[in-house]
Amino acid sequence: MAEQKTEDFRVILVGGGPVALTAAHALSKAGIDYVILERRDQLDVDSGASVAVWPHNVRLLDQLGMLDEADRTYMPVLYKRNLRRDGSMISKSNMFEAMQINHGHPWMCFHRAKLMNMLTNNLPDPSKVLLNKEVVSIETTSTGVTVSCADKSTYTASMVIGADGVRSTVRRMMNEEASKQPDEPFVSTYKGLYGYSTKSPELDAATCYETHSGRMTIQLIVAEQQQHFLVYERLEKPTADRGPRFSDEDKDALAAKYADVKFPGREPGQWVTFADVWANRQWSMLSNIEEGVVKQWHQGRCVLVGDAAHKMTPNTGFGMNSGLQGVAHLVNRLHSLLQTNPNPDGAALTKVFTEYQAALIKNSKTTVDMAGLYTRLVAWDNPVWKFLDQYFLPYVNGDVTSLNMLMSPIVQKGVPLDFLQENAYKTGKYSYHTGQATIKVA
Ligand SMILES: Cc1cc2nc3c(=O)[nH]c(=O)nc-3n(C[C@H](O)[C@H](O)[C@H](O)COP(=O)(O)OP(=O)(O)OC[C@H]3O[C@@H](n4cnc5c(N)ncnc54)[C@H](O)[C@@H]3O)c2cc1C
């Protein structure tokens, strides 16, 4: 293969999820050419549960020119009510409002389809998103990579970013290239039934109702038009298997088990049950929920971001956010490298990938553990947590205290893209370790 010229440096992004799309925006702003290969015939632009962007990543939306649209699109969530299965109140808080007080930007909870639409529609060159491209193999040479798809098409580039989710093909290829045992640390202890329904008029908007109970939890995030539900149920035993492809009958059966779960309406004595929520559903999905952090995030000219590298339970809403931070760390380093070395060899890329992994892996583990702990606490995994959750945490304003002590420190570590201006920089009670981004003059 001929030596590549500066302007030939190109990235293949495998996967078209929210992390890959954000990477596409960041690469584009960094002046780095890319193409997205997505195996499905469309992006998730008309389905999906809720997905929240934490304030440190709202900073990225600002830098990538999508803050105004995000402001118009997200579903405000301010309050939280912790309930027992019979609807009785354990405690309530303004945890989500406190995120904005702590960090300046709000906690932006989106219908996933709307976030995906925003990310897709704002791409400067939509022709760079190629659908029906299932990546099946990657060949690495001394000067680049050749990626092959199931339809026999091939693409060449300088490097690959594997943003292809928890069952990552890029990760499998990396392990094969390194002749390593599969680096597949993922274990599912819970399964999740999630989706959305029309809003129950009896419930308050901008509120997350959270049912705490033995072996199960429900989060019901109520917005003006829709409500998004996540039912977590502990599996009989943890499994490293992907789990079955659940049918509609499986979903109905799980929903029926929790049909009696009650959410208090606005008027005294008024109740909405999970049966009501389920009856009005517009979209749903049931799957096992994997947890784990991959040991090695790069090999040769391939590097992983997002769920391909780390996967957690969704309770704390940090999964995609961790991936977005991965994008910022990786693209900052690639941009910086290409300023001084427009045609980096494999060793230069490995250095960047190593630094990227080193900057993030500890935080990723903390985030996965924290999400896992919260999942188990509210599902009363043992009698101590059942007691603490009902009788101790309410007295110390557990929601806001855990936000301040555990989650805000993660947000504070968030980095912006260091080669772009941050126009709407905001900070709150807690400052960011890396403050407002200003364009560096070369
Ligand atoms: C119910 C629920 C609620 C959640 N809420 C939040 C939240 O509030 N905040 C938060 O931060 N996170 C949340 N998460 C987690 C979040 O959804 C994930 O972390 C996020 O989707 C990961 O994005 P990704 O782009 O890395 O991977 P994915 O979204 O999994 O996308 C991977 C893409 O790669 C494609 N792909 C796979 N293999 C190949 C291949 N061989 N070739 C080409 N393409 C391929 C797939 O089709 C897919 O489009 C939630 C998750 C769930 C289930």
158 pLDDT exceeds 50? Answer: yes
357 is catalytic: no
Model confidence pLDDT, tens digit, residues 189-208: 999 999 999 999 999 999 99
Per-residue model confidence (pLDDT) at position 244: 85
pLDDT at residue 33 above 90? Answer: yes
Residue 210: inside a domain, yes or no?
no
Ligand 1: which atom is nearest the Cα of residue 311?
19
What is the pLDDT at residue 38?
98
Give the residue numbers spanning the domain of 325. Answer: 6-44+56-72+109-185+294-412
Domain count, the chain: 1
Q: Determine whether the shortest distance from the Cβ of 48 to ligand 1 is under 6 A.
A: no
**pLDDT confidence of residue 7:** 62
Residue 258 within any structural domain of the chain: no
- 202 C-alpha to center of ligand 1: Å? 32
Answer whether residue 343 is part of any domain: yes
Q: SS3 for 68?
A: helix
Q: What is the residue-wise DSSP string for 386-416?
A: HHIIIIIGGGGTHHHHHIIIIIHHHHHT---
For 169, how many CA atoms within 13 A lie in the half-sphere containing its CB? 18
Q: What is the mean pLDDT of the chain?
A: 95
Is residue 367 in some structural domain? Answer: yes
Flag whether 386 is in a domain.
yes
Q: Is 208:317 a contact under the CB 8 Å cutoff?
A: no
Quick: pLDDT tens for 395-416: 999 999 999 999 999 999 999 9
Cβ of 74 closer than 6 Å to ligand 1, yes or no, is: no
Which residue out of 219, 227, 325, 357 is catalytically annotated? 219
What pLDDT does 180 receive?
74
* Three-state DSSP class for residue 356: helix
- Among protein residues, the one with the nearest Cα to ligand 1's atom 16 is 320
Q: Is residue 262 part of a domain?
A: no
For residue 427, is it within any domain? no
Is the confidence at residue 6, as pLDDT, over 80?
no
Q: Are strands 281-293 and 187-198 parallel, antiparallel or unpaired?
A: antiparallel
In this prediction, residue 1 carries a pLDDT of 32
Q: What's the confidence (pLDDT) of residue 94?
A: 98
Contacts of 320 by beta carbon, 8 Å cutoff, 6+ apart: 18, 19, 51, 53, 306
Residue 62: give its domain's CATH number.
Answer: 3.50.50.60
Residue 409 CB partners (closer than 8 Å, separation 6+): none
Could you tell me if residue 399 is inside a domain? yes
The Cβ of residue 81 has, within 10 Å, a number of other Cβ atoms equal to: 22
